Structure 1
Amino acid sequence: MLSDYVDRAIAKAIYDKLEDGTFTGRIPVCKGVIAFASTLRECEDELRSTLEDWILLALKLGHSLPVIDSIDLNKEPTLESMDTV
């Protein structure tokens, strides 16, 4: 579920080429997730890494995350008994 969330968030990313030839990327629905790099590919990689760190920190601190394409990471996990495994 976490991988799907990251993939779908990255699919919503917006990239721009800056005047100096470098790139910036952001995910508007994920406030504060932004990356800068010298190539578009590096920017995509950096943005994914920044997003992953942002998600982990939000979960650790108990912050609410945006629901992306019906994936809600804010739900409490449900535990199943060992008999069902």
Structure 2
Amino acid sequence: MLTEYVSQAMAQAVYDKLEDGTFTGRIPSCKGVVAFGSTLRACEDELRSTLEDWILVGLKLGHSLPVIAGVDLNREPTREPMDSM
């Protein structure tokens, strides 16, 4: 589920080439997820890392995360009773 969320969010990424030849990337639906890199690939890698950290912090702090492509990380986990194992 988490892998799908990251993949779908990265598919929404928007990149721009800056005047100095470096790149910036952002994911509009994930406020604050922004990255910079000397190449487009470096920017994409940094953006993925920033997104993953943003998700983990959001989950830990109980923030409401955007639903992306039908993937909702806000649902409470279901727990099975121990005797059913």
- TM-score normalised per structure 1: 0.95
Paired position in structure 2 for 1:14: 14
Q: Distance in 1 between matches of 2:37 and 2:30?
A: 19
2-side partners of 1:13 and 1:37: how far apart?
14
Deviation at 1:30, TM superposition (A): 0.2
Q: Counterparts of 1:81 and 1:7 in 2: how far apart (Å)? A: 32
What secondary structure sits across from 2:60 in the alignment? helix
- Structure 1 gaps of 5+ residues are none
Where structure 2 has 5 or more consecutive residues not aligned to the other structure, the ranges are: none
Deviation per CA, 1:9-68, whole angstroms, max 9, x where unpaired?
A: 000000000000000000000000000010000000000000000000001111000000
Return structure 1 stretches of 4+ with deviation > 4 angstroms: none
Give 1:48's aligned amino acid.
R
Q: TM-score, normalised by structure 2?
A: 0.95
The total of aligned residue pairs comes to 84
What root-mean-square deviation, in Å, do the aligned CA atoms of Structure 1 and Structure 2 show? 0.9
Give the match's secondary structure for 1:63.
Answer: coil
